[in-house]
Amino acid sequence: MTKEVTGYKFQVQAAAENAQSSLRVHYMGDRPQGNPNGDGKPYTTTEWVSVEYNDGASGTFYYILGDYAPVLGFPQVFDIDIPEI
């Protein structure tokens, strides 16, 4: 079964992991002091970002679900394969 999702699709695992690292630095790193919104405190997020793997009728690729436009650009809509139970 396939499901339409919104997120970021990568052909190489290293690219997906680099995107995940960029999100970690952006949301968990310290805000720059010189930034008008920066106060030196860490950013916070309520979302857990994980790299997932799809291998099925929709193709073989890695992906991150969600909308992280400030860091990764605009997300895309694509299909992933959901194993039937």
Q: What is the dihedral of CA 45, 52, 68, 79, to 10 degrees?
A: -140
What are the pLDDT digits (tens) for 3-18?
Answer: 999 999 999 999 999 9
Amino acid (one-letter) located at 49: V
What are the pLDDT digits (tens) for 36-63?
Answer: 555 556 555 556 788 999 998 889 999 9
- Those residues whose C-beta lies under 8 Å from the C-beta of residue 75, and which sit 6 or more positions away, are 6, 7, 8, 66, 67, 68, 69
The domains of the chain are located at 2-81
Tokens 């960029």 -> residue? 22
